[in-house]
Amino acid sequence: MSTKAPHAPVLQEPANEQEIRDYAYHLYEQGGFAAGRDLDHWLEAKACLSSGVAKAESRVRLHQNTFKART
């Protein structure tokens, strides 16, 4: 009986500060330039980049596209 090891998740290289800043600004744009969410955008950008989520697939953008489809 052969036992296969489960596949380990593919880890992305840690994002640098400029990549996080660019992604966070993208989220800020997608959120309609709403003030006061800079830390939220920074943390979401960092998480998305470390998970390999492309800007086009970010949660905010998907939410907006879903909303547009209903109206």
Provide φ and ψ at 69, rounded to 5°. Answer: -65, -30
Residue 54: its pLDDT value, please? 86
Domain locations in the chain as residue ranges: 17-70
- pLDDT single digits (tens) 16-26: 999 999 999 99
Residue 12: its pLDDT value, please? 59
Residue 70: its pLDDT value, please? 44
Taking the whole predicted model, whether its pTM rises above 0.85 is answered as no
Asked if 10 and 27 count as a contact pair (C-beta separation under 8 A), the reply is: no
Distance CA 53, CA 47 (A): 8
Residue 64: its pLDDT value, please? 47
Q: How far is CA 28 from CA 13, 23, 42, 52, in A?
A: 24, 9, 9, 19
pLDDT under 50: residue ranges of the chain: 62-71
Residue 23: its pLDDT value, please? 93
Distance CA 48, CA 20 (A): 9
